[in-house]
Amino acid sequence: MEFKGISDSFEKLEVDALAIAVFKDEKANEGILQKLDSATGGMVTSVLEADEIKGKDGETAFLHIVGRDGLKANRVLLVGVGTRDDYTAARQFQLGGTAARTLRNKGMKRIAIIPRSESEAETAAATVVQGAVYGVFEPDKYRTAEKEKRELESVVVVIEGADNSSLNRGVERGRIVGESMNFTRELANEPGGHLTPTGMADRAREIASAFGLEVDVLDRQRMEQEGMGSLLSVARGSDEPPALIVLKYNPPDPGDSGKLLAFVGKGITFDSGGISLKPGENMELMKYDMTGGATVLGAMRALAQLKPPIPVLGVVPCAENLPSGKATKPGDVVRAMTGKTIEVINTDAEGRLILADAIAYAKKLGATRILDMATLTGAVSIALGDVNTAVLGTDQEFIDEVITAGAEVGEKFWQLPLDKEYSKQIKSDIADIKNVGGRKAGTITAAAFLKEFADEVSWAHLDIAGTAWGDEAKPYRAKGPTGVAVRTLIRLVERAS
Ligand code: BES
Ligand code: ZN
Ligand code: ZN
């Protein structure tokens, strides 16, 4: 798929279809919508007056425009984007997705999108292109019948009067970020039998050599040398060896600020629960328990291409959580890299066990700020559903940065409290701490556990269990992995630069 930005008028564009944002309850009586209306001989007005589309978020109307001289394209897609006041990055992203997905499904090849955004051209173009790349993703790798064969050839973003070079810079950035989100989604969708910890490490090596990142993968032996008893305890039940992936992005002109931002992501390639076995229903979904790790890999893949001026570390502990004669048993006590001892009450609370050692290792490598992300608790879906990602941590400024970066790119984060009182719930009778804190405040006690390992470092944590998987398709995306947080991570680095 090719992408281009165009700052000329849209009438002469040689495309199969033109998509345009339509605001709630608007009439085609001003600006570019009026221009399109005249170019189509009043068809936009007639559709709007017939109430076929009211501009509500997610609505679309597809028009065949034949034999009109004013317009080269003979198809038009009106895409509702809600009210003008609320035309946020999220809506502009969805416009790109809905336009690309809908027109692709109608067999169009070359399309143009008119975002009508008031943001800077570079940002608007980047957002719409991200959405378009994202929108055409299909999780159908393993299908042989009825596989989606239709493909867009080109997408043009039209922002009349914009500066051409910033417009095209935005288009290129959007492509990189959109493709990296899809990289994360593709990994998240891989079945556990296909994507093992070794497979994750291979994918990390691939992006490192394709885009230029430092890479190191710790095997079991090196983990033992580092004393990572917590991470190792999770991998015990599986025949697949664990892997701790370390990626580093070095900027072209490395300063010496002494600061190092690290992203740490949970990479459980399949979570059966271990000896504390999960019920069978929906267990297949636990292939996506490595989405935190895939999010880190996706963000690092994009950063290597976008080349921001600050270094970034990516740490992804990978393991498979299975029961066997060798598996860790409820009641076992393990020793983490920091020396803390952990009573494993429930082997299904394994994410925090692997993150404990990964966070400690990120600190050993010099991280001064750590953001970890994980499909950590079922409880987060009860608290926030699939709308907001939970954010918790010890550094309020850092948490605020994450929330702001999210708002800028159109992703929602909601902070949950992390008062020290919650830590009482993870006190163990026989060890320093235990890995579960009872039924109350499950997302918070999981974070309270991680806090023990982040300790003094500036740290925040994202629980993406509720937002990383979309149970239903939307006009702007397929059902399945959402790629949540990839964009926010990239924005966070750009803001810190
Ligand atoms: N991977 C799960 C969390 C999860 C559950 C993600 C459902 C997505 C959907 C995690 O390892 C887990 O099993 N957590 C337990 C913790 C409990 C044993 C304290 C949970 O949430 O039930
Ligand atoms: Zn689990
Ligand atoms: Zn898990």
Does residue 436 line the site of ligand 1, with CB under 6 A? yes
**Is 110 designated active site?**
no
Q: What is the pLDDT of residue 204?
A: 98
Does residue 346 line the site of ligand 1, with CB under 6 A? yes
Q: What is the pLDDT of residue 147?
A: 76
Neighbouring CB atoms inside 10 A of 260's CB total 18
Please identify, by atom number, the ligand 1 atom nearest to the C-alpha of residue 375.
Answer: 6
pLDDT in tens, 186-245: 999 999 999 999 999 999 999 999 999 999 999 999 999 999 999 999 999 999 999 999
Q: For the chain, give the percent of residues with pLDDT over 70.
A: 100
**d(Cα 469, Cα 291) in Å, to the nearest integer?**
9
Q: What is the pLDDT of residue 79?
A: 98
**Is 420 designated active site?**
no
Mean pLDDT of 119-147: 94
205 Cα–ligand 1 center, Å: 29
**What's the mean pLDDT when you consider all of the chain?**
97
Rg (CA), the chain: 24
Does residue 467 line the site of ligand 1, with CB under 6 A? no
Q: Whose CA is nearest to atom 17 of ligand 1?
A: 349
Residue 120 reports pLDDT greater than 90: yes
Does residue 255 line the site of ligand 1, with CB under 6 A? no
pTM of the model: 0.98
Q: Where residue 65 falls among pLDDT bands split at 50, 70, 90?
A: confident
Please identify, by atom number, the ligand 1 atom nearest to the C-alpha of residue 436.
Answer: 19
Q: What is the pLDDT of residue 149?
A: 82
> What distances in angstroms separate CA 224 from CA 99, 220, 479, one per listed residue?
51, 6, 40
Mean pLDDT of 260-264: 98
pLDDT in tens, 363-374: 999 999 999 999
Q: What is the pLDDT of residue 255?
A: 80
> How does 6-37 read in b/e, with b if 16+ C-beta sit within 10 Å?
bbeebeebebbbbbbbbbbebebeeebbebbb
pLDDT in tens, 424-458: 999 999 999 999 999 999 999 999 999 999 999 99
Residues by chain with Cβ below 5 Å of ion ligand 3: 268, 271, 289, 351
| Catalytic residue chosen out of the listed positions 72, 84, 109, 278 | 278
Mean pLDDT of 60-78: 89
